[in-house]
Amino acid sequence: KIEAEDSIEPEMFIEFPSIKEETLAFCEFVKNLDGSPDDNPEPTTLASLFAGTHEAQPPVSTPINVVELINLPYELRNSVKEPPKLLRDKQSLTDSTSIPRVTKSNAARKQEKNFERFHYGAWYIPPKQWKVIRSDNVNKLNNKNEINDVKMKSYKELMENLNDQMKETHGYNAFMEFLQNKNKQVPKFMKF
C-alpha cells in the first residue's frame, strides 16, 4: 500500500477511515495499470480534491491567436492540414494522401467545365490592376521582378500624387528655395 508518512493526513481520513482504505486501494489500482510513474496519484491529493482544499495551478496565460484560413495567403493555406476529426485518427477518404483516380469520367469533366472559377486580384496588387485569372493559374507564383515592378509603379504614382499636392503649398516652395540657397540635395521623395 502507498503510505505518505511525511504529509499531514486530511481531516476526511481521520473522520472516515474507510475512505482512506478505498483511496489507497484506488491509488494501488492506478499504479498497477502500467502507466508512467508521474501519473500515479497520491491518496492525500485525491482527498484534498474532494475536500476542496486542493490548490490547482493557474492556467498558462500565453495569448492564443486564432486566424481564419480565409485570411491567410494561398501558400500558407495550402500547407495547413485539417485537424483530425473528433475521436478519429484515420485519414478521410478525400485526404490528399489517398490514391487519386487515374482517369476522370465524362460527367466529372463536364462538371469541372461548368464550375470553372475565376480569381480577380491579390492583396499585393492595386485593385485597378486586377485582371480576371482562372483559379488554376492562381496557384502559380508570380515572378519577383514583376511583383517589384508593380510595387514600384504604385509607389511612383503615389509619390507623384503627393508631390503634386505638396507643390501647391507655401511650405514646399520655401523648403525648395532653402535647399537651392544652401546647395543641398533634394530628398528622393521630392524628385518625382
133-143 pLDDT, tens per residue?
666 554 454 56
Domain assignment present for residue 16? The answer is: yes
Residue 99 has a pLDDT of 57
Bin 34: left if φ > 0, else alpha if -120 < ψ < 50, else beta.
left
Number of domains in the chain: 2
Cell numbers at residue 128, please? 485597378
Beta-bridged to residue 119, according to DSSP, are 133
Domain assignment present for residue 93? The answer is: no
Q: Is the pTM of this model over 0.75?
A: no
Q: What range defines the domain where residue 15 resides? A: 11-51
Domain assignment present for residue 141? The answer is: yes
Q: How many percent of the chain have pLDDT more than 70?
A: 63
